[in-house]
Amino acid sequence: MAKPSNPQGTRDFGPAVMRKRDFILDTVRTVFKKYGFEPLETPALETLETLEGKYGEEGNKLLYKIRSNKEIVNELPEEKADGIKALLPERWIPGNSKLGLRYDLTIPFARFVVQHRNDITFPFRRYQIQQVWRGDRPAKGRFREFTQCDADCIGSNSLLHEADLIQIYNEVFTNLGLPNAILKINHRKFLEALVDELSLDFPVGKFTTTLDKLDKIGEAGVMKELVGYGVDETKCKQLFAIIGNAELTEQNLATFAQAFNNNVIAQKAIDDLSAVLAFLKGYDLDIRVELDLSLARGLDYYTGCIFEAVVPDSGIGSVSGGGRYDDLTGVFGLKDVSGVGISFGIDRIYEILEAQNLWSDNLHNNENTLLCHFDMASQQYAMGVARTFRENGLPCIVYPDNKRINKQFDFANKIGVKNAIVIGEDEMKTGKLTLKNLEKGEQFSLDITEIMKYINA
Amino acid sequence: MAKPSNPQGTRDFGPAVMRKRDFILDTVRTVFKKYGFEPLETPALETLETLEGKYGEEGNKLLYKIRSNKEIVNELPEEKADGIKALLPERWIPGNSKLGLRYDLTIPFARFVVQHRNDITFPFRRYQIQQVWRGDRPAKGRFREFTQCDADCIGSNSLLHEADLIQIYNEVFTNLGLPNAILKINHRKFLEALVDELSLDFPVGKFTTTLDKLDKIGEAGVMKELVGYGVDETKCKQLFAIIGNAELTEQNLATFAQAFNNNVIAQKAIDDLSAVLAFLKGYDLDIRVELDLSLARGLDYYTGCIFEAVVPDSGIGSVSGGGRYDDLTGVFGLKDVSGVGISFGIDRIYEILEAQNLWSDNLHNNENTLLCHFDMASQQYAMGVARTFRENGLPCIVYPDNKRINKQFDFANKIGVKNAIVIGEDEMKTGKLTLKNLEKGEQFSLDITEIMKYINA
């Protein structure tokens, strides 16, 4: 029999990986909660009506469609079924696909908001941490099943939310041990102002798509593409004179206003960002927050602030993105509801922490203590010790089988526990148990209270 | 435009439901961890090779099969595609189904163990809390997407695991606020002994399937069915004389041994359960643990202890089940690996707690505090108060818009927060903020440290 395996582009997460993934998710979740975001979960299954046509042509191709055998069998018209079976190999079962797998968390959120709009109190802050599926070609760092981690506030255009999200970015990256992360901010109105100020007569979307390639193709490449669209070189040079980046401060905003020649559209961006800065007054940022006028994030649906977070020198692109949108729910018939949201790329963050080994020490260890013994009597005594451990919130395992003590230590080392307790006749008589710190090779004779204190230290 | 909706048999979990679901999952997870079970997650997508043929004929029908459009388009032979398109309505896209959705957590766990057997240290304790999908007809309490919550230990036949699992049952139900739950235990050898002792000449599986219906069709119904199989009435009466239930104690085990006429097969069950009781010595059980000789759980793959938990008077069948198996991984070619595991039915537990309103008070409330204000200056001051709150781990929201104070209180009431803080000119001057307990209708003037103390109390 061939060894079974998980499908291409998917992953099993064993205990050692789960500890680290949970650390990332718990860190993000804890910060989201402190900022009043509340949990939401939507089903993995959505109707194709909800999903189709929402992710562009490429997205539509990557959508996973679903049928149960039962549905297929029940719904196939008999006369057609015969014709089809003649055409198809046995294993090809045709079906009308009514359901699909969640492709992102944004569209299901929009669907939820529209469907439940009469029960929701706006502004509504929700976070959502769930899997999504895309039938993409698997590659390094690209999976068919992965986790998204979103926070959005919908139903208010207050810039307080942008300030809250910046604080969230700061706390998430600091708590993850990535204080060198950079949060890049731009504003849709700056992009529109560039088009206006340079009198480009093509859509903002086309302009931002080109600008978005700056990282990859450089100024020369962007200029070449713009010139190809009929923009003259002088204007391109004007453009590059404006679109630098600088720390987001009142002073730098004023400088940009000048560079924009006090363009009225740019002024709207500057007013918004000033308001955000006012809300942040007194808050100490650990990460760098940078105004980057070349930041476009491709998506045409952002209408205000745009966010992107990167970890320098990680060799990985953005680890988070987001922004303000004014028509997320429009696709489902609910117009003019403003919102703002961000999304963390958990898998990319994991890769950075793993590559640079930035995990805190306790994430490398199995947090259990192993209780070792010599015979049935000492094993039963160990069950009592285990109870005391667990009543005090300490996880532990009594070695289940009657094997030689070295076998038990082998097991302890293999599963990565730091401490083992040895219980034999002497220990049962005196109540002083032998504690072995397997990491340091130390050994102590202590009573159970002292042992728990040692382990908790 | 029609209002969008989630698919039949699936659910959206908004914040109020999520708080309660998370309470259940956190309770179970915390206990699993204390007993040394470590987290595992497997993908929602499994190959059909892994899934098919594992869940019986009915299960195969309920399996969800998956294709991405891209795969379908790429793999459809062109000449056939044209023929098929002529036969099918546009939306019917045929495809060869290579992937399916996770149907339970047991088969993926078995697949994981076999696939990674060289990297796993046995005995391996894992817990797994994930969604599963079944294309069943939706009904009250029956969903197409629901959560399973399993703990298994594989690679050891030590009865210490059975004792650990009983302790886990006890702590989970006590911590959930369901101390009246009953854990029913039986042993496969008792069932085999009944067949042996009564000299029934049909398979144990057939016998247990009939016995399993006792709850539904009563003694008379079971007797009728057995008589139909050719068992004489005297033997049936003998059977019902034996299969009562009683608290699991040494003394009651001895009584059962007598009832079984010291049958050697039954003796194996009694030895096992005595060993389990020895491991439990000194452990105080809050729930009732009951030996129930009619418990069969239909599944033929249990080989030792069998578990089932029920909450009396809930109108809901079992809320958990499990047992020891000796050949879980045999379907994937790894023979003779003994294990034991249990699974909690989260959705059923939720329904019982909800119907009887057994939730602790804090699960009804939004845990945030709302910070209210009168103008831009007091809103910015509130941002500072919020920072202090969050630095101290307290979640809060600064009301984002500039609306009248009554509107802000309305919002607080609607989202269910207990406390609101009002910040105006006086408050900013004195540092004494107005705290409104919206639940009790009380109001205090306190500094921020006193407020945090009040909220934490």
* B68–A65 C-beta distance less than 8 A: yes
Among candidates B18, B63, B99 on the partner chain, residue whose Cβ is nearest the Cβ of A41: B18
B144–chain A nearest CA distance, Å: 9
Q: Which residues pair with B306 in a beta bridge?
A: B186, B323
The answer to which of A57-61, A233-237, A286-290, A339-343 has the lowest mean pLDDT is: A57-61
- Helices (DSSP H) in A177-329: which residue ranges? 188-197, 204-211, 214-228, 233-242, 250-259, 264-280
Q: What would the mean pLDDT of A429-448 be, rounded to a whole number?
A: 96
State how far residue B206 is from chain A, nearest Cα, in angstroms. 27
Q: Which residues of chain B neighbour A401 with C-beta distances below 8 Å?
A: 123, 156, 158
Which pLDDT does position B205 carry in this prediction? 79
Query: Which segment of A366-380, B66-80, B234-248 scores lowest on mean pLDDT?
Result: B66-80
Bridge partners (DSSP) listed for residue B149: B129, B344
Q: How many CB atoms are closer than 10 A to CB A90?
A: 7
Q: What is the interface size between A and B, counted as CB pairs within 8 Å?
A: 323
For chain A, domains (ranges, CATH) are: 15-355 (3.30.930.10), 366-456 (3.40.50.800)
d(C-alpha A352, C-alpha A350), whole Å: 6
Nearest residue of chain B to residue A281 (CA atoms): B380
Q: Which of A34, A372, A455 should one mutate to test binding to chain B, selecting the residue with the greatest count of B CBs within 10 A?
A: A34
* Degrees to nearest 5, angle at CA A270 with A266 and A275: 150
* Residues found in chain A: 457
Would you call A45 and B144 a contact, using CB atoms and an 8 Å cutoff? Answer: yes
Give the C-alpha separation, B95 to B92, whole Å.
10
Decide: residue A432, CB within 10 A, 0-12 exposed, 13-18 middle, 19+ buried: middle
Name chain A contacts of B4, Cβ cutoff 8 Å: 47, 49-50, 111, 114-115, 332
Residue among B7, B33, B119 whose CB faces A45 most closely: B7
CB contact under 8 A, A22 and B39: yes
Q: Which of A128-137, A419-428, B295-304 has the lowest mean pLDDT?
A: B295-304
CA distances to A106, A166, A171 from A284, rounded to whole Å, are: 31, 11, 10
The label of the residue with tokens 């502004």 reads: A123
Q: What is the pLDDT of residue B150?
A: 98
Return the CA Rg of chain A. Answer: 29
Q: Which residues contact B166 (CB under 8 A, 6 or more apart)?
A: B183, B185, B276, B280, B285, B289
Nearest chain A Cα to B370, which residue?
A36
Instruction: State the virtual CA torsion across B165, B167, B173, B179 in degrees, nearest 10.
Output: 140
Concatenating the DSSP letter of every residue in A227-259 gives HHTT--HHHHHHHHHH--EEE--HHHHHHHHHH
Q: Do the Cβ atoms of A34 and B394 come within 8 Å?
A: yes
Q: Which of B25, B88, B417 should be substituted to probe chain A, the one whose Cβ sees the most A Cβ atoms within 10 Å?
A: B88
**Mean pLDDT value of segment A77-99:** 53
Yes or no, beta carbons of A160 and B379 under 8 Å apart: yes
What's the pLDDT band for A84 if we cut at 50, 70, 90?
A: low
Which residues of chain A lie closer than 8 angstroms to B38, CB-CB?
15, 18, 366
Q: Which chain B residues are within 8 Å of A41, Cβ to Cβ? A: 12-13, 18
Give pLDDT, residue B91. 36
Distance CA B397, CA A294 (A): 32
The answer to whether residue B15 scores a pLDDT higher than 90 is yes
Residue A50 phi, psi (nearest 5): -70, -40
- Tell me which residue in B1, B144, B171 faces A333 most closely, judged by beta carbons: B1
Q: Residues A148, A132: contact at Cβ < 8 Å?
A: yes
Percent of chain B predicted with pLDDT > 70: 92
Most confident of B51-60, B95-104, B328-337: B328-337
Beta bridge partners, A321, equal A308, A343
What mean pLDDT is predicted for residues A371-387?
A: 97
Considering only the beta carbons, identify the residue of B97, B126, B282 that sits closest to A384.
B282
Confidence of residue A197 (pLDDT cuts 50, 70, 90): confident
Q: Which residue carries 């496969």 as its tokens?
A: B188
Give residue B282's region: left, alpha or beta (phi > 0; psi -120 to 50).
left
How far is Cα A382 from Cα A387, in angstroms, rounded to an integer? 9
pLDDT of amino acid B95: 44
Angle between helices A264-280 and A160-176 (to 10 degrees): 60
Cα A121 to Cα B14: distance, rounded to the nearest angstrom: 12
Work out the end-to-end distance of chain A between its first and last CA atoms, rounded to an integer number of angstroms: 49
Dig out the tokens for B407 from the structure: 């509107």
What's the token pair of residue A237?
Answer: 């040079």
Nearest neighbour of A15 by CB, restricted to B6, B38, B156: B38
Q: Which of B45, B121, B126 sits opposite A411 (nearest CB)?
A: B121
User: In A311-448, at which residue ranges do the beta strands (DSSP E only) sit?
Assistant: 318-325, 339-345, 366-373, 396-398, 417-423, 433-437, 442-446
Q: Which residues contact A388 (CB under 8 A, 6 or more apart)?
A: A448, A452
- Name the residue among A14, A68, A283 with its Cβ closest to that of B62: A68
Higher-pLDDT residue of A76, A422: A422
User: CB A38 to CB B18 under 8 A?
Assistant: yes
**What are B88-106's pLDDT values in tens digits?**
443 344 444 589 999 999 9
- Mean pLDDT, rounded, for B41-64: 90
A175 or A60, greater pLDDT: A175
In chain B, residues with a C-beta closer than 8 Å to the C-beta of A153 are 400
Instruction: Check whether A77 has a pLDDT greater than 60.
Output: no
Tell me the pLDDT tens digit for each residue of B174-191.
Answer: 999 999 999 999 999 999
Closest-CA distance, A404 to chain B, in angstroms, reads 15
Nearest chain A residue (CA) to B108:
A6
Non-local CB neighbours of A69 within 8 Å, separated by 6+ positions? A93, B60, B61, B62, B63, B65, B135
**Out of A409-413, B88-92, B183-187, B401-405, least confident range:** B88-92
- Name the residue among B23, B53, B355, B322 with its Cα closest to residue B183: B322
User: pLDDT value at position A384?
Assistant: 96
Q: Which two tokens stand for residue A28?
A: 């993000």
Strand partners, A396: A369
Phi and psi at A312, nearest 5°, equal -60, 150
Per CB-CB distance under 8 Å, the chain A contacts of B364 are none
Which of B129, B43, B107, B17 lies closest to A131 in space, CA to CA?
B43
* Beta carbons within 8 Å of A109's beta carbon, 6+ residues apart: A40, A42, A126, A128, A150, A152, A154, A328
Backbone angles phi, psi at B23, to 5 degrees: -60, -45
The secondary element (H helix, E strand) that includes residue A64 is strand A64-68
Label each residue of B161-212 as H, E or C. Answer: HHHHHHHHHHHHHHHHCCCCCEEEEEEHHHHHHHHHHCCCCCCHHHHHHHHC
Nearest to A40 by CA among B166, B18, B20: B18
Which of A137-146, A266-275, B78-87 is predicted least confidently?
B78-87
Q: What is the dihedral of CA A180, A185, A333, A160, to 10 degrees?
A: 90
Q: How far away is chain A from the Cα of B323, in angstroms, using its nearest Cα?
A: 17
Q: Most A CBs within 10 Å: which of B8, B29, B41, as the mutation test of the A interface?
A: B41
Q: How far is B237 from chain A (nearest CA, A)?
A: 40
Closest to B16 measured CA to CA, from A107, A120, A337: A120
User: Is the distance from CB of B314 to CB of B178 less than 8 angstroms?
Assistant: no
Angle between helices B204-211 and B214-228 (to 10 degrees): 140
Residue at A422: amino acid letter: V
Bridging pattern class, strands B288-292 and B245-247: antiparallel
Please name the member of A14, A39, A101 whose beta carbon is closest to the beta carbon of B22: A39
Cβ separation B125–A397 shorter than 8 A: yes
Write b or e for each residue in A213-225: b if 16 or more Cβ atoms lie within 10 A of its Cβ, otherwise e.
ebeeeeeeebbeb
b/e code B20-45 from CB counts within 10 Å (16+ = b): bbebbbebbbebbbbbbbbbbbbbbb
ipTM of the complex: 0.91
Q: Residue B68 and residue A61: Cβ atoms within 8 Å?
A: yes
Whether A396 sits inside 8 A of B36 (CB atoms) is yes
Contacts of B380 in chain A (CB under 8 A): 278-279, 281
* pLDDT of B299 strictly over 80: no
Contact B305, B173 (CB under 8 A): no
Mean pLDDT of chain A: 90
From the number of C-beta atoms within 10 Å of its C-beta (0-12, 13-18, 19+), residue A281 rates as: exposed
Q: Which residues of A touch B160 (CB under 8 A)?
A: 379, 383, 398, 400
pTM over 0.90: yes
Kindly indicate the confidence band of residue B234, based on its pLDDT and cuts at 50, 70 and 90: confident
pLDDT at A299: 63
Contact residues on chain B for A101, CB-CB shorter than 8 A? 44, 66
Query: In a mutagenesis test of the A interface, which of B17, B80, B398 is the best target, namely the one with the most A β-carbons within 10 Å?
Result: B398
Distance from C-alpha of B5 to C-alpha of B2, rounded to nearest angstrom: 9
Q: How far apart are CA A379 and CA A400, in angstroms?
A: 8
- Contact at 8 Å (CB) between B168 and A390? no
Contact A18, B32 (CB under 8 A): no
Confidence at residue A313, expressed as pLDDT on a 0 to 100 scale:
92
CA atoms within 13 A on the CB side of B323: 25
Distance CA B450, CA A455 (A): 35
b/e code B199-226 from CB counts within 10 Å (16+ = b): ebeeebeebbebbbebeeeeeeebbebb
> Which of B46, B290, B55 is closest to B182 using CA atoms?
B290
Residue A158: its chain B contacts at CB < 8 A?
A: 400-401
Of B152, B151, B66, B155, which is closest to residue B103 (Cα–Cα)? Answer: B66
Of A3, A7, A11, the CB nearest to B114: A3
Is B121 in contact with A415 (Cβ distance < 8 A)?
A: yes
Among B66, B96, B376, whose Cβ lies nearest the Cβ of A64?
A: B66
Distance CA B316, CA B46 (A): 31
Contacts of A47 in chain B (CB under 8 A): 4-7
B444 strand-pairing partners: B435
